[in-house]
Chain A
Amino acid sequence: MISLNHALDIPLYRQLSTQIMESVVRGELLAGDTLPSVRALAGDLGVNMHTVNKSYHELEAKGIIEIVPKKGAVIKAKEQKISTKRLEGLSDEFRPIVVEALINGMNQEEIYMLITNIISKVRED
């Protein structure tokens, strides 16, 4: 289930990508499953097609989905081990958030806790 909230600061296409990834993590979407077409999903959500398109391209760039001609957006099989390049990318994205947490007075333990909480929230939901 996808749920987008206009009141958040996070752009809609980002929210959409995150939620599709969460569905994959939870096992609601499996490797080989096809996502709805851009037009269909935009129609379901009542948002502009560009929003969905942007999100699908982001997911493609991240290696989560593959755009197959005539078939659409297909979920890719999970890689066995994360590549060093991807790890570096994630590290770069984590960095500013970790710094912000530190500045706000969180210690290492609290940051671990926060991440553990997020993981269990994503998995259970």
Chain B
Amino acid sequence: MEFAILIMTILFVSLFQIGVPFFVKRTVVFGVTIPYEQARHPKVMHYKKLYAMLTTIVAFVAIVGFFIWNQANPLDETKLVLIGSIAPFVILLTGLAFYFYFHYKITKLKKAKKWFGEVKQVRVADLTARAKDEMLSSFFHFIPTVIAVTLIILSVNLFDQLPNQIPTHWGPDGMPDAFTDKSWLSVLNLPIMLIVLQVMFFGINFFTKRSGIKINAGNMKSSKLRQLRLRKYTSWFLFVTNILMTLLFAFLQLNLLYENLFSHALLVVFPVGFTVIMLVGALVLAVKVGSVDSDLEGKLVVDQSGKTKTESIDEDRYWKGGLVYFNPNDPSVFVEKRFGIGWTLNFANPIGYFVLILPIVLIFVFSFLI
């Protein structure tokens, strides 16, 4: 069972990593901005295909290797999970190494061809875009908080009846494999962490909503559609994540409060179901967003009227290595990722650190106190 989940995850990560250049915005190739009309330049397409081929080879070797290794001398559970969890990171890191190589290649190509030499560079915005924004309300993230609070009340009431050992870690089979002494902190750990997470989800949604809807002047229609879809579907994805997290934490906490409440089968099925729903959600998100304003969209409408081409301003200087956004002028906290689907921080905006890093620090401090 674990083997199947691991292979599925590795396969999923691999396919995603191979496909990235084809479902990111076509005006940003390996983290380098290029004019819309050059999106189908033969050299650009050649580099993308080369990247995909190299990543496929690495992923293939990793998956087959993992398979054969397990067939030849079946690994024990811990080793299997360990290797199976490292494999996706190996694929991600080699993908990143290839990314940097082609980032360098495209930067050189862009310079040699002087692509932004003759275009008029502007910044564009649609005043009506916000009326079409379909992001969920940020306050939705506090609906599951009712469950977290209920768990706290329940735990406080049952505190005296609990055993002296409290589980703190659960194995892949859903059984606890690490324990700690009973205290208020260890009993309430899960629901409090859950509330911290829900506040973080609220913050992410809230500040994403306030971040800019970036439109590309070279192809306003599809770039706007992509931004609106990204906003809508990531906010749904975040909400589903919140619900699943709440269910998982509630499940673990109830299992802690009432021993043997759930059957052993459920203990296994639950985390698997969790993983499957998350993978399906990520897939839906990738398809909905990745099919717009990317190579997958197909058509490339280039204005042939001969007048000076208009493009969005080349913002590469704000993107360190094409991946890290640092723009003190932009009040946006989150901006669309350049290599992958989703959002990345504007590192020049301190609010971002509060929203993401503070909750993580809190959770870490908490786990150390126990």
| Interface positions of A (Cβ within 8 A of B) | 1-7, 20, 23, 28-29, 35-36, 39-49
Chain B 298-329 residues near chain A, CB threshold 8 A: 310, 313, 315, 327, 329
Known: A1-B124, A47-B123. 16 other contacts (CB 8 A): A1-B127, A2-B124, A2-B127, A3-B122, A4-B124, A6-B123, A6-B313, A36-B125, A39-B210, A40-B130, A45-B123, A45-B125, A46-B212, A46-B315, A46-B327, A46-B329
- A residues less than 8 Å from B129 (CB atoms): 44
Contact B125 A2 (CB under 8 A): yes
Judged by DSSP, the binding face of B is loop
Is B217 interfacial (CB 8 A cutoff)?
yes
- B residues less than 8 Å from A41 (CB atoms): 125, 127
Judged by DSSP, the binding face of A is mixed
Contact A42 B331 (CB under 8 A): yes
CB distance from A90 to the nearest CB of B (A): 25
Q: A43-B211, A47-B329, A48-B329 are in contact. Are A5 and B120 (CB under 8 A)?
A: yes
- A residues less than 8 Å from B128 (CB atoms): 28
- B residues less than 8 Å from A23 (CB atoms): 127
- B residues less than 8 Å from A28 (CB atoms): 127-128
Is B214 interfacial (CB 8 A cutoff)?
yes
| Interface positions of B (Cβ within 8 A of A) | 120-130, 210-215, 217, 220, 310, 313, 315, 327, 329-332
Query: Nearest residue in A to B211 (C-beta to C-beta)?
Result: A43
CB distance from B261 to the nearest CB of A (A): 48
Q: How far is the CA of A45 from the CA of B125 in the complex (A)?
A: 6
Query: Nearest residue in A to B310 (C-beta to C-beta)?
Result: A3
Complex partner residue of A45 from B210, B211, B212, B220, CB under 8 angstroms: B212
Q: How far is the CA of A7 from the CA of B118 in the complex (A)?
A: 12
Complex partner residue of B120 from A2, A7, A20, A43, CB under 8 angstroms: A7
Contact B127 A43 (CB under 8 A): no
Q: How far is the CA of A70 from the CA of B283 in the complex (A)?
A: 39
Complex partner residue of B124 from A3, A39, A42, CB under 8 angstroms: A3
Complex partner residue of A40 from B124, B212, B217, B329, CB under 8 angstroms: B212
11 contacts between A and B (CB under 8 A): A1-B127, A3-B310, A6-B313, A28-B128, A36-B127, A36-B130, A42-B330, A43-B212, A44-B214, A48-B331, A49-B331
CB distance from A54 to the nearest CB of B (A): 14
Query: Nearest residue in A to B128 (C-beta to C-beta)?
Result: A28
Q: How far is the CA of A2 from the CA of B312 in the complex (A)?
A: 12
From A2, A43, A44, residue with most partner B Cβ within 10 Å:
A44
Nearest first, the 8 closest Cβ-Cβ pairs linking A and B are A43-B212, A44-B125, A43-B332, A44-B212, A2-B125, A4-B123, A3-B122, A48-B329
Contact A7 B121 (CB under 8 A): yes
Contact A1 B329 (CB under 8 A): no
CB distance from B315 to the nearest CB of A (A): 7
- A residues less than 8 Å from B332 (CB atoms): 43, 46
